Amino acid sequence: MWSKNGKEQKLPNYTSAPDKLRYSRYYEHDGALRAYANRAMVLAFLCVPTTLLALAFAAYVRLQPPTVIRVDENGQATVVGKAKPVLSVTQGAGPEPTEFEKRAFVRLFLERYLNFSATNVSRNWADSLNMMSANLRRTVFSGMQKDNLIGKIEDDQTNSEFQLRSLEVSKEYPLTYVAFGVKEVHRIHEHNETIDKVVSEFHVRLAVEKRSEQNPSGLLIGEYWERPIEGEKRDWVLQQAGINSF
C-alpha cells in the first residue's frame, strides 16, 4: 500500500510478532479451566456410589461368621449352623416315577432287608427302614424291638443270603409287586450249625410322595409281607434259581 507522500507502508506481520501478541484471549483460558473443573466434578459424583457400594459389601463380608464344613465318616459334607435345604426336583406334584425306577426300588429294598450278617444287620435294616413309610417303619421297628431280633441274630451269628428269582408287577394293583426268591439262613448255636433254605413269596406295595433331595425317586415301601410256599411252585423256583430241592 502506498501512502499519500509516496512512500510504501507495510501492514504488520503477526507471524513474526513477539510471543505476547500471539497469546489467546484470557476468557478462552478461563472457559477451558471451567470445563475441566466440571468434568472432574461429574467424575467425582460418579465415584461416590461405587465407593459406598464397595464399603457396604466389605462390611457385609466382614460381619459374616466363618463357614465351618463338617465331613462325616461317609464323606458327606455339611455346613455347620445351616439347615439342609429340601429341594424339589420340579414344581408341583413332579413327574410320576417310571416303571424302571419302581422295579429298581423294590429290588434294592429286598436285597437290603433280606441279605445280612451279624456284623451288618443293624446297618442293612436301618437302610431298609428308611425306605419305608412312617407308619410301616414304626410297626416294623416295634416288632424288631419286641422280639429282640437283632440280639438273636448277633447271638447265633446268623447269616442270611437272599437270591431273587422273579419280580413282576401285580395285575390288579399297579403299585404292588410280587417277587419269588430263596433265603438261605445259616445259624451257629452251641457250636452246631444249622442251614435253612426257605422259598418265599414276597408282596411289596409302593407309595408315591413328592420328590425331594432326601428321596429323589419319590417312592416309599407302603406295605410288605412274605410267606413260604410249598408244592410245585416251590420246586419251580428252586429249579429256576439253580438250587437243588431238599
- In the chain, domain spans: 14-62, 99-241
* Grid coordinates belonging to 10: 507495510
196-242 pLDDT, tens per residue? Answer: 888 899 999 999 998 888 888 899 999 999 998 887 666 666 666 55
Residue type, 201: E
Residue 93 · residue 210 · CB < 8 Å: yes
Question: Residues for the chain: how many in total?
Answer: 246
Please, which pLDDT band fits residue 42 given cuts at 50, 70 and 90? confident
pTM: 0.58
Query: Cα separation of 79 and 47, whole Å?
Result: 38
- What is the per-residue pLDDT for 2? 45
Superfamily of chain region 99-241:
VirB8 protein (3.10.450.230)
